[in-house]
Amino acid sequence: MAVPSSIAWQKSSYSGGGDNNNCVELGCSSTFVQLRESATPAVTLTVTPHRLSGLIRTVKAGLHDVRSTDDRYHLGR
């Protein structure tokens, strides 16, 4: 799978503007979507837009929610 090396990366508008703000960045080409953690930009996850939209849809539906009685895993609920 050939992935373009010159991708324009975008940060979420919810991330702060400073250099020390770690966040997920997204880069798109005509065929692929790449995701990376700003703290480790050399490591990327490459998916098709179809697969990424499927993941987003299931996350929004709550299908990946962590169910635990341990308070460390409750995400604002």
Q: Encode the chain (77 residues) as per-residue pLDDT tens digits.
A: 455 567 888 987 777 666 666 788 999 988 999 999 888 888 999 999 999 999 999 989 988 887 766 665 555 54
Residue 37 CA to residue 43 CA, distance in Å, equals 8
Domain boundaries, the chain: 22-64
Question: Which residues lie closer than 8 Å to 49 by C-beta, 6 or more apart?
Answer: 28, 32, 33
Question: Which residues lie closer than 8 Å to 21 by C-beta, 6 or more apart?
Answer: 15, 38
In this prediction, residue 66 carries a pLDDT of 76
Reported pTM: 0.63
| Rg, C-alpha atoms of the chain | 15
